[in-house]
């Protein structure tokens, strides 16, 4: 029997990974999240579920007892609207990863996975639209996204040194804007794919013509569908490679182009009210997957259109049914006391 701990299991990526493991033979799953269990995005019955704050070392020590593998997705995060306005909160997540690393050593855990982010990349490589895909080496010299990106880069580095100094096996990936069903779509933490699906769904429902768009819509990103993210996570976790890898898409689009795809899915056209004062983040960002493909053999399968069709349809169901809105859209539930 193998014991796996998933930290941040009440959230988006952690929730999808936990549901993959739960019910598998010979795996005992322990789920942890700071949110009260009724706010977890997915309900898990065949796992041990704990609502607790991993910024407290005692909690980290207790929850990792007897655990073989740790997956750490627990951090205070969200889309641009959240991370740009909550830098200190985002940086405090350093306590979670640090406590878990220390506890992993103390409790002789076998392997440790850390979810880093494309926000670690040097900002000078992202100052234009349709930039070249970011390669893993582009994180240095360090000039990451203020707040959230610094925390991720520092925690990556902690993993590296815990591995070098204490022999802990670590795996680290940099996610590039992961989206899909069973994630937040309103309330302040939502990212662009979910936010824009919601805005177009509501415009169509209420027969409105105009939606608000942050920035001028020309900024570019690549977005990775959740199923590709989970597959990439497992491929890196199971590999023998301790380097840091991109888990992202190479399909770079402008926000205006993504809106066009969503309009086609919705069969509804909108006009755009560009809000230039809203959080915009970097001007252009995309993943270069050549290194992860070469070393791990992973590449994404879903096109943006395919992923958005599934995401749109799930968000539409939530909005039309009116259920679960509180659970998926309660923006600031993890605020530090
Ligand atoms: N969230 C959001 N909501 N973004 C919008 C909206 C809207 O209604 N309209 C336009 N945008 C624009 C933002 O201004 C930004 O330029 C772009 O869409 C992407 O925004 P996000 O999806 O919120 O974030 P991001 O790509 O800048 O960063 C996200 O991905 C990183 C990994 O690649 C964040 O979630 C980070 O936390 C994450 O690490």
The predicted-structure confidence for 12-51, as pLDDT tens digits, reads as follows: 999 999 999 998 999 999 999 999 999 999 999 999 999 9
pLDDT above 80 for 332:
no
The pTM (predicted TM-score) of the whole model is 0.97
* CA 11 to ligand 1 center in whole angstroms: 17
Atom number, ligand 1, closest to the C-alpha of residue 117:
39
Nearest CA to ligand 1 atom 35: 79
pLDDT for 80 equals 97
Instruction: Determine whether 120 is exposed, middle or buried from the number of CB atoms within 10 Å of its CB (0-12, 13-18, 19+).
Output: buried
Q: Please give the average per-residue pLDDT across 255-284, as a whole number.
A: 98
In angstroms, rounded to a whole number, what is the distance separating the alpha carbons of residues 128 and 90? Answer: 26
* CA 53 to ligand 1 center in whole angstroms: 26
Peptide bond into 141 cis (omega under 30): yes
In angstroms, rounded to a whole number, what is the distance separating the alpha carbons of residues 113 and 118? Answer: 16
- CB atoms near residue 249 (< 10 Å): 28
Q: Please give the average per-residue pLDDT across 53-79, as a whole number.
A: 98
In angstroms, rounded to a whole number, what is the distance separating the alpha carbons of residues 262 and 264? Answer: 5
Nearest CA to ligand 1 atom 34: 79
pLDDT for 309 equals 98
Give 336's pLDDT tier (boundaries 50, 70, 90): very low
Q: Is the CB of 281 under 6 A from ligand 1?
A: yes
* CA 257 to ligand 1 center in whole angstroms: 14
Q: Is the CB of 280 under 6 A from ligand 1?
A: yes
pLDDT above 50 for 134:
yes
Q: Please give the average per-residue pLDDT across 142-171, as a whole number.
A: 98
Q: Is the CB of 255 under 6 A from ligand 1?
A: yes
Candidates 189, 192, 258: which one to mutate for ligand 1, based on the most atoms within 8 Å of Cβ? Answer: 192
pLDDT for 337 equals 44
Nearest CA to ligand 1 atom 26: 177
**DSSP assignment of 287-305, as one string?**
B--HHHHHHT-------HH
Q: Please give the average per-residue pLDDT across 254-267, as a whole number.
A: 98
Is 268 among the catalytic positions? no
Nearest CA to ligand 1 atom 11: 214
Active-site residue (options: 69, 148, 225, 312): 148
Q: In what helix (H) or strand (E) does residue 262 lie, and over which residues does it extend?
A: helix 255-266
Q: Is the CB of 152 under 6 A from ligand 1?
A: no
Domains of the chain: 2-178+223-247 (3.40.50.720), 180-221+252-282+303-333 (3.90.25.10)
Q: Please give the average per-residue pLDDT across 61-70, as a whole number.
A: 98
Q: Is the CB of 174 under 6 A from ligand 1?
A: no
Nearest to 74 by CA among 46, 48, 40: 40
* CA 195 to ligand 1 center in whole angstroms: 9
Q: Is the CB of 334 under 6 A from ligand 1?
A: no
* CA 328 to ligand 1 center in whole angstroms: 17
* CA 233 to ligand 1 center in whole angstroms: 21
CB 193 within 8 A of CB 253: no
Q: Is the CB of 134 under 6 A from ligand 1?
A: no
């Amino acid at each position: 029997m193998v014991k796996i701990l998933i930290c941040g299991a009440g959230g988006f990526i952690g929730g999808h990974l936990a549901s993959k493991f739960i019910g598998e033979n010979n795996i005992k799953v322990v789920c942890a999240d700071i949110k009260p269990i009724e706010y977890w995005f997915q309900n898990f019955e065949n796992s041990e579920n704990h609502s607790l704050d991993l910024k407290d070392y005692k909690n980290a020590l207790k929850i990792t007892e007897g655990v073989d593998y740790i997956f750490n997705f627990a951090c205070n995060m969200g889309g641009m609207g959240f991370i740009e306005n909550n830098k200190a909160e985002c940086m405090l997540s350093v306590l979670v990863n640090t406590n878990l690393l220390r506890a992993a050593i103390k409790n002789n855990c076998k392997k440790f996975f850390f979810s880093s982010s494309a926000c670690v990349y040097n900002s000078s490589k992202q100052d234009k639209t349709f930039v070249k895909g970011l390669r893993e080496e582009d994180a240095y010299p360090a000039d990451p996204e203020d707040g959230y990106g610094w925390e991720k880069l520092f925690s990556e580095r902690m993993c590296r040194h815990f591995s070098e100094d204490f022999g802990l096996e670590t795996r680290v990936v940099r996610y590039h804007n992961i989206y899909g069903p069973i994630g937040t779509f309103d309330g302040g933490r939502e990212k662009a794919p979910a936010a824009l699906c919601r805005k177009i769904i509501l415009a169509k429902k209420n027969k409105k013509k105009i939606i608000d768009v942050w920035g001028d819509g020309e900024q570019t990103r690549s977005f990775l569908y959740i199923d590709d993210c989970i597959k990439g996570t497992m491929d890196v976790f199971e590999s023998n490679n301790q380097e840091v890898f991109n888990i992202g898409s190479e399909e770079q689009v402008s926000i205006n182009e993504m809106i066009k795809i969503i309009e086609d899915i919705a069969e509804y056209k909108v006009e755009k009210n560009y809000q230039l004062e809203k959080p915009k983040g970097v001007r252009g960002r995309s993943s270069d997957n050549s290194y992860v493909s070469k070393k791990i053999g992973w590449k994404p399968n879903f096109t943006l259109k395919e992923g958005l069709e599934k995401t749109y349809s799930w968000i539409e169901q939530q909005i039309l049914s009116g259920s679960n809105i509180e659970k998926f859209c309660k923006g600031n539930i993890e605020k530090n006391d």
